[in-house]
Amino acid sequence: MAKACTGRKNIQGHPCFGSNHHQNGRIHLAVAPRCNIKCGYCTRRHDCVNESRPGVTSRVQSPTEALQTVRDVMDSASLGRLIRVVGIAGPGDPLANEETFETFRLVGEEFPHLIKCLSTNGLVLPDRIGELDQLGLGSLTVTLNALDPEIGSRIYTFVNYRGTAYRGRDAAELLIANQLAGLEKAADLGITIKVNTVLIPGVNDGEIPRIAEKVKELGAAVMNVMPLIPQADFAGLQAPTPERLEEIRSVNEKIIGQFRHCRQCRADAIGLIGQDANFDSGCAITLKQESAG
């Protein structure tokens, strides 16, 4: 029997969970450069100002710099009235960086009304979900790409957990077990959960409905099936067609709600989804319209 999946914390205004994403915006704070796993589709570069995809940021900030960014954005006439969420999504894995926790603490003290949101691969989520709950985390995104360790071993090169490196099937088994355990613990704490799954043609297509069923059972509220961006180890693959992506989302929708307006945001995105601000603390703010591709 599936758990209740609405969450108990107040996330009213979060654009990823039912609120109007044309009116409600978010700040992503790029304070987390280090990562503890290697995904085959991931390339992290820190100086690609015209590129919009996960893992990209113009620069990594310290927690105090990130706090100043929030101050400046909230003081902005054009943006302050829109922002509802402060999130940390990289450019590495937030839970592999102590700066994540310090940033949430600082921002929470000064802007308690902003919803705290975090995106993670989930490797150390069971170990750290209690700290996140104490910091008032309202919503959580876990990227879960496989339930079968054999498929997972084709996606993940290695994981580093508690000082030990794991590879192959062992790495995938550990990662998947921790992802599911952490997700369940987060749901028990009333944190609203979104699960991201990267659709990798020919690799995990058949896993996605199974993932939908499992995460729904554990208490996730919504699922975001994201198209592969062919790069890194998967540079030779083709991205799924929009028709194939919609086909899988439509099947999944019978199981769990689907998030359809994802733009695979940068780690330093600020503003509305699809209309992020070109923002540098202390400088002018302009808005740029992203493609919906």
**Within a domain: 283:** no
**Within a domain: 200:** yes
**Within a domain: 280:** no
Element (H, E) at 138: strand 137-143
Q: Is 15 helix (H, G, I), strand (E, B) or coil?
A: coil
Q: How far is CA 244 from CA 200, 206, 292, in A?
A: 11, 12, 16
Query: What is the model's pLDDT at position 197?
Result: 96
Do 143 and 119 contact (CB within 8 A), yes or no? yes
How far, in Å, CA of 138 to CA of 85, rounded? 9
Query: What is the model's pLDDT at position 52?
Result: 45
DSSP string of 239-279? Answer: PPPHHHHHHHHHHHHTTSEE--------TT-EEETTEEEE-
Do 125 and 8 contact (CB within 8 A), yes or no? no
**Within a domain: 35:** yes
Q: Is 149 helix (H, G, I), strand (E, B) or coil?
A: helix
The 10 Å Cβ neighbour count of residue 218 is 22
Measured in degrees and rounded to the nearest 5, phi and psi for residue 236 equal -85, -5
Q: Work out whether strand 25-28 and strand 164-167 pair parallel, antiparallel, or are unpaired.
A: unpaired
**Within a domain: 89:** yes
| Chain position carrying tokens 């993932």 | 211
**Within a domain: 20:** no
**Within a domain: 5:** no
CATH, residue 174: 3.20.20.70
Q: Which domain holds residue 149?
A: 25-275
Element (H, E) at 292: none
Query: What is the model's pLDDT at position 280?
Result: 52
**Across the 293 residues of the chain, what is the mean pLDDT of every consecutive 10-residue run?**
56 55 74 93 58 60 94 81 86 95 97 94 97 95 97 96 96 98 97 95 94 97 92 91 94 90 66 54 35 28
Locate 131 and state its tokens. 């700290």
| Chain position carrying tokens 């910091």 | 135
Q: Which residues are CB-contacts of 194 (< 8 A; sequence separation ≥ 6)?
A: 16, 17, 139, 140, 141, 142, 220, 221, 222, 223, 224, 259
Sign of the CA dihedral running 99, 104, 105, 107: positive
Measured in degrees and rounded to the nearest 5, phi and psi for residue 6 equal -85, -15
First-to-final CA distance of the chain: 36
What is the count of structural domains for the chain?
A: 1
Partner residues linked to 142 by β-bridges: 120, 195
**Which ranges of the chain would DSSP assign to H, the alpha helix?**
63-75, 98-110, 125-134, 149-155, 168-188, 208-218, 242-253
**Within a domain: 229:** yes
Query: What is the model's pLDDT at position 269?
Result: 75
